Amino acid sequence: MSNVTDAKPQATAVPASGLKKFWADFSESRLALFALAVFSTILFIALFAPWISPTNPYDLGSVDIMNSRLPPGSEDFAGNVYWLGTDGAGRDMLSSIFYGLRVSLGVGAFSGIVAMAIGATIGLAAAYFGGRLETIIMRIVDIQLSFPSILMALIILAIFGKGVDKTIIALVLVQWAYYARTARASALVEKNKEYVEAAQCLALSDRRIILSHIMPNCLAPMIVVGTLQTAHAISLEATLSFLGLGLPITEPSLGLLIGNGFEYMYTGDFWISIFPGVALLITIVSINLVGDQLRDIFNPRLQK
Amino acid sequence: MTAFILRRSLQSLIVLFVMSLLVFGGVNMVGDPVDMLISPEADQMEIDRVIRDLGLDRPVTEQYWYFLVNAFKGELGRSFIFGEPALKLIIQRMPATMELALFSLLLAVVFGIPLGVYAGLKPEGKLSRTIMAGSILGFSMPTFWVGILLIMFFSVNLGWFPSTGRGETATYFGMTSSIFTADGLSHLFLPAFNLALFKLSSVIRLARAGTREVILQDYIKFARAKGVQESRVIRVHLLKNIMIPIVTVIGLEFGSLIAFSTVTETVFAWPGMGKLIIDSIYNLDRPIIVAYLMIIVLIFVTLNLVVDILYSFLDPRVRIKGAK
């Protein structure tokens, strides 16, 4: 720790040097840096899939059933090379994976953001107002966390059927409790600090104190949980889609691609199932590694 | 103590009640319950009869009451596909799921503890690093995809293990199980390993963390100084002390094995209740869906209640805090 922070122990906002320090801390782990680079690449692919994919796998005009189940690296009559092979309908696997990443990351990140917004609001309110409200909220959180997430999602999707909207709702309902618990834990520490008291003396509204005073100081643990939870959500969505309960066939995520390839496993056409799985694994592992490093940085016990 | 148990039991009842509301509400509000609960092939007379039997011509509150009463009697409707009571079908499939979950738990403990202890004793070793990297992978890899990989390598390419079904079962001591026959065991191994992988990773991590903590304690140093054999130090002084958190987590997470078995059972076509529910969702066999959800919630609520009460026996702090 430098003298700067010792001199101003109350400094809570992140100044420019804070960002620099954050980056220095983060890049201490080569593995985390590598993971971040991998994840950035994946994010880039997901965002720009329609422009960088060799073909559009969902444009019926460009898909030829004659090209179905070509092994990786093969070439069709028109001279197109399928680096990762083609699936049962003749779609290029590489392009399918690019588009699938888009769906998987989109659903995972969107549900994560919604769950974080809802969970953080509930958790912060519970900590700030305390009393009976807090007891009831935290009891609900405890009960929900005692059920495995796959079971909660299964119950919701079994009742309401599949679909993009329903999958997102299921993922949000599964995740909000984690965010609520994290937000409450850090808000409990913050709410007794002097700056909150000062804000209360200024007769600021509760809403304003919670949102613009307490929340920014609870962000660090929220970001850590958010990173790890997003990886979890992507994995869960893939599982649900593989089981045929999550996304519809019109929104093929990585899980659906793997599921589609599953039937070809027994005939030895491994690439249809394996490559989307590798893409999924790389995504999840890179997010987890970045999340682990963030957790180490923000963990006060590990700070030098 | 009694107050604590009463409180927790009451809470479990409330959870069950809320879940029954959710399931009942889901079936009745989202779609037409006539479509949901009556086979599409039924004729008008059959439809009228079932509507009367299920009380679908009555007000919703009254219907919910009937649903609860019937659920207590174990009457959760008949399967459209099998034509048998849904509850009976699920209970028939339950032993296969329990067998899979228990065997996975066994695998996780038998392999996880030695690997974790080793990694804890030699944290800088190459093998330890490999073990820990493996456990990170085990945490990150989605269960269904690992299952596919296992089938590809061990069934399709190597042909060592069969990839679907439960194999031959035999009955001993009133228990029908695959573990009693060689064929059954060979069918059980891959799915059980698949299901165990996640748990195996957490047992490894717990065992490693516990070992690193306990190995620094004075009683270990003393035992070594006294000249106790290293194998005995590990077996008696170390293992006993790292087991508490491991046993807790295993107990707590047994339920999650049952939940995740839906995935493994689907991949390996294992005839348990997890496969039954997924098949039923495909076939829109709604009585089974409703019955499964109610039963799995009941299992979970009971498991959590039992674990909470056991906890309060082991740790008085929980009891005092919970009774307030």
Sorted by where each starts, the structural domains of chain B and their CATH numbers stand as 91-272+299-323 (1.10.3720.10)
Percentage of chain A surpassing pLDDT 90? 12
Give pLDDT, residue A197: 84
B251-256 mean pLDDT = 78
Split at pLDDT 50, 70, 90, the class of A180 is very high
Distance from CA of A87 to the nearest CA of B (A): 16
Mean pLDDT of B211-224: 83
pLDDT digits (tens, 9 = 90+) for A71-80: 776 676 666 7
- Residue A76's contacts (CB-CB under 8 Å, 6 or more residues apart) are A64, A66, A67, A70, A82
Q: Is the pLDDT of residue B319 over 70?
A: no
B145: burial class by Cβ within 10 Å (0-12, 13-18, 19+)?
A: buried
pLDDT band at A115 (very low <50, low <70, confident <90, very high): very high
DSSP E strands in chain B: the ranges are 170-172, 175-177
CA triple B113-B313-B6, angle to 5 deg = 130
Q: Buried (b) or exposed (e) across B177-197, using 16+ Cβ within 10 A?
A: bbbeeeebbebbbbbbbbbbb
Residue B170 has φ and ψ, to the nearest 5°, of -135, 155
Nearest to A158 among B145, B151, B293 (CB): B293
Using the predicted structure, report yes or no on whether residue B159 has a pLDDT greater than 90: no
pLDDT band, very low/low/confident/very high, at A118 (cuts 50, 70, 90): very high
Provide the β-strand partners of residue A92: A86
| Separation between Cα atoms, residue A49 and residue A47, nearest integer Å | 6
Position B136 scores a pLDDT of 82
Q: Give percent of chain B above pLDDT 90.
A: 1
Note the pLDDT tens digit of each residue in A127-139.
888 888 888 888 8
Tokens of B132: 């820990």
CB atoms near residue A248 (< 10 Å)? 15
Mean pLDDT to the nearest integer, B161-186: 69
Query: Does residue B139 surpass a pLDDT of 50?
Result: yes
- B249 at interface of A, judged by CB pairs closer than 8 A: no
Which uninterrupted H or E stretch holds A75? strand A74-75
pLDDT for position B324: 44
Task: Flag whether residue A258 sits within 8 Å of chain B, measured between CB atoms.
Answer: yes
Give the tens place of pLDDT for each residue, B11-61. 888 888 888 888 777 766 665 666 666 666 777 777 777 777 666 677 777
> Minimum mean pLDDT among A42-46, A62-66, A117-121, B184-188: which range?
A62-66
Query: Is A151's CB within 8 Å of B26's CB?
Result: no
pLDDT for residue A82 = 67
Residue whose structure tokens are 């077996």: B235
The two tokens of residue A278 are 């590798």
Comparison of pLDDT for A17 and B152, the residue scoring more:
B152
Distance CA A84, CA B78 (A): 47
- The count of CB pairs under 8 A between chains A and B is 107
Answer yes or no: are the C-beta atoms of A285 and A35 closer than 8 Å: yes
Q: Does B206 touch chain A (CB under 8 A)?
A: no
Alpha-carbon distances, residue A62 vs A56, A57, A66, A229, A254 (angstroms) = 7, 8, 12, 37, 21
What's the longest Cα–Cα distance across chain B?
Answer: 85
Phi, psi of B225, deg, nearest 5: -60, -35
Q: B222 to chain A nearest CA, in Å?
A: 30
Mutation site, A38, A138, A145, A155, interface B, largest B CB count within 10 A: A155
> So what's the pLDDT on residue A8?
42
Nearest Cα of chain A lies from the Cα of B31 at a distance, in angstroms, of 9
Alpha carbon of A194: minimum distance to chain B alpha carbons (Å):
29
Say what the pTM is: 0.82
Among the partner residues A231, A266, A284, nearest to B156 by beta-carbon distance: A266
Q: What are the angstrom distances between the C-alpha of B91 and each of A302, B47, B86, B304?
A: 50, 27, 9, 21
* Residue B256 C-alpha, separation from nearest chain A C-alpha, in angstroms: 6
Q: B288: closest CA among B39, B21, B11, B22?
A: B39
The DSSP string of B156-186 is IIS--S--SS----EEETTEEEGGGSHHHHH
- The residue that leads in pLDDT, B311 or A119, is A119
Better-scored residue on pLDDT, B313 or A288: A288
Tell me which residue of B272, B267, B280 sits closest to B142, measured CA to CA. Answer: B267
Report for A1-10, A61-70, B145-154: range of highest mean pLDDT: B145-154
Q: Is A282 on the interface with B (CB under 8 A)?
A: no
Considering only the beta carbons, identify the residue of A143, A238, A288 that sits closest to B15: A143
Give all domains of chain A, ordered by start, each with its CATH number.
2-6+37-60+79-302 (1.10.3720.10)
Asked if A143 and B11 come within 8 Å (Cβ–Cβ), the reply is yes
Amino acid B94: pLDDT: 87
Chain B hits for A143, Cβ within 8 Å: 11, 15
**What is the rounded CA–CA span in Å between residue B286 and residue B35?**
9
Name the residue facing B256 among A148, A239, A242 (closest C-beta).
A148
Mean pLDDT to the nearest integer, B314-322: 60
Measured between beta carbons, the chain B residues lying within 8 angstroms of A146 are 300, 304
Closest CA to B307 of B293, B322, B295, B292: B322
Chain B nearest-CA distance from A136, in A, is 12
CA distances from A149 to A119, A188, B119, B296 (A): 15, 26, 30, 13
Give the mean model confidence (pLDDT) for residues B166-181. Answer: 67
Q: What is the pLDDT of residues A103-114, one digit of tens each?
A: 899 999 999 999
- Run of H or E residues at B70: helix B60-72
| A44 touches B at CB < 8 Å | no
- Determine the pLDDT at residue A107: 92
What is the rounded CA–CA span in Å between residue B324 and residue B320? 7
pLDDT > 90? residue A143: no
Residues in B closer than 8 angstroms to A265, CB to CB, are 148, 151-152, 156
A117/chain B closest Cα distance in angstroms: 24
Which amino acid belongs to residue A55?
A: T
Task: Give residue B123's pLDDT.
Answer: 79
- Amino acid A300: pLDDT: 64
Main-chain dihedrals φ then ψ at residue B51, nearest 5 degrees: -55, -45
Asked if A288 reaches chain B (Cβ–Cβ under 8 Å), the answer is yes
Angstrom distances, CA of residue B245 to CA of B203, B241, B249, B282: 10, 9, 6, 40
Amino acid A161: pLDDT = 80
A126 touches chain B (CB under 8 A): no
Nearest to A297 by CA among A25, A9, A14: A25
pLDDT of residue A3: 44
Q: Judging by DSSP bridges, how do beta strands B170-172 and A81-82 pair with one another?
A: unpaired
- Cβ B42 vs Cβ B256: under 8 Å: no
* Identity of the amino acid at A14: V
User: What residues of B are in contact with residue A148 (Cβ under 8 Å)?
Assistant: 255-256, 259-260
- Cβ–Cβ of B144/A274 closer than 8 Å? no
Q: Does B152 touch chain A (CB under 8 A)?
A: yes
Distance, CA of A176 to CA of A185 (rounded, Å): 14
Q: What is the dihedral of CA B249, B253, B254, B255, to 10 degrees?
A: 150
DSSP string, B282-323: HHT-HHHHHHHHHHHHHHHHHHHHHHHHHHHHH-HHHHHHHH
Measure CA A175 to chain center.
Answer: 11
Give the residue-averaged pLDDT of B240-263.
80
pLDDT at A73: 67
pLDDT of residue B150: 86
The per-residue pLDDT for A10 is 44
Contact status of A159 with chain B (Cβ, < 8 Å): yes
Say if residue A119's pLDDT is above 90: yes
Nearest Cα to Cα of residue A144 among A122, A114, A124: A122
pLDDT tens digits, A4-54: 444 444 444 445 567 788 888 888 888 888 888 888 998 988 888 788 777
